[in-house]
A = this chain, B = another copy of it.
Amino acid sequence: MTKEDVAKAMMNLQDRICKQLEELDGVSLFVEDLWSRVDGGGGRTRVIEDGALIEKGGVNFSEVHGEVTSMMRNNTEITGDSFFATGVSIVLHPSSPHVPIIHMNVRYFEMDNGVYWFGGGIDLTPHYIVPANAAKFHASLKLICDQYNTDFYPKFKLWADDYFFLPHRDETRGVGGVFFDHISESQLLSKQQLLDFCLELGDSFPVIYSEQANLGRNVPFSESEENWMNYRRGRYVEFNLVNDRGTKFGLVSGGRTESILMSLPKNAGWTYNIQLDEDSKEQKTLNQLKKGIDWISFIDQ
């Protein structure tokens, strides 16, 4: 399998996901922007806006390559002289507070010295946490992981808890999911199997998101619930701009800003020192933004 094969597989994955998300939304279509990177490679940014379900979302494919800069050498584990990176990255912000924000990313990295790795993840950020829905989400991820390696789900679930975390808020971004990075072939899994795992995770994305979206999209919501969605989106912005290593790396390495920041919502809000009733569903959601919750245990509750 060449790096070009991986890039082609990622590109096809983007096509399949976009098609299914358009069907799920039912109103809006993706608009595509092709871009190229001065130092090598480029991408296909696809953004969907003002849909029946999705208020703003992006499904980005990129394939970039070039010389390893000193900035990259100082900020990452990259060691070679030249690199190649490709992947698909998704963030969807729904218009309803009863549908969660979702993120998915699968990526492949290779250096001229032969070192390569896969990385990726899916995580769910409900505006209002419903433990039974979070359980369904985690159970789906576990099912995919278990087909490849039964160590994956427990390991990658912990990794997601640690990665999708806002230290300055002492809060997780949402109910987590799976996250993994720097995974290469081992006695257990070949390079082809790792690619298959990433692609299967990617292909499961529209299915998993459909299930989550359909649980909430027809539930009516009030203005106060919409305000809460805006507040929760503020935290999403904080995570992406303050904590997310991928966003930071993209911005400082001269990536295409509009493609990187498609992850930000149409609107977000900040209320100083918000005060909530201890019994409110908003406070209950905040109370559950913690690492280490075994979401699958809430199945059918």
Question: A residues near B, CB below 8 A?
Answer: 33, 47, 49, 56, 58, 167-169, 230, 234, 237-238, 241-242, 248, 251-252, 257-258, 260-262, 264-273
Tell whether A269 pairs with B272 under 8 Å between CB atoms, given A169-B257, A237-B237, A242-B251.
Answer: no
Q: A33 to B251, alpha carbons, bound, how many Å?
A: 35
Q: Does A234 contact B264, Cβ atoms closer than 8 Å?
A: yes
**Docked pose: A242 CA to B258 CA in angstroms:** 15
Give, as a whole number of angstroms, the nearest-CB distance from A62 to chain B: 16
Main secondary structure of the interface of A (DSSP, over half): mixed
Given the known interface contacts A234-B264, A237-B241, A242-B251, the answer about A58 and B258 at a Cβ–Cβ threshold of 8 Å is: no
Contact A268 B268, beta carbon cutoff 8 Å: yes
The 4 tightest CB contacts between A and B, nearest first, are: A241-B241, A264-B270, A168-B251, A47-B272
Contacts of A257 in B (CB 8 A): 168-169
Contact A267 B266 (CB under 8 A): no
Q: Which residues of the partner chain B approach A58 to less than 8 Å between Cβ atoms? A: 272
A267 and B267 CA atoms in complex are apart in Å by 7
Cα separation A269 to B49 with both chains bound (whole Å): 13
User: Which of B169, B258, B270 interacts with A272 by CB under 8 Å?
Assistant: B258
> Given the known A-B contacts A241-B241, A257-B169, are A268 and B269 also in contact in the complex, defined by CB atoms under 8 Å?
yes
Complex Cα distance A272/B258, Å? 6
Sample of 16 A–B contacts (CB below 8 Å): A47-B272, A49-B272, A56-B272, A167-B251, A168-B251, A168-B257, A237-B237, A237-B241, A238-B241, A238-B261, A242-B251, A264-B270, A266-B269, A266-B270, A267-B269, A268-B270
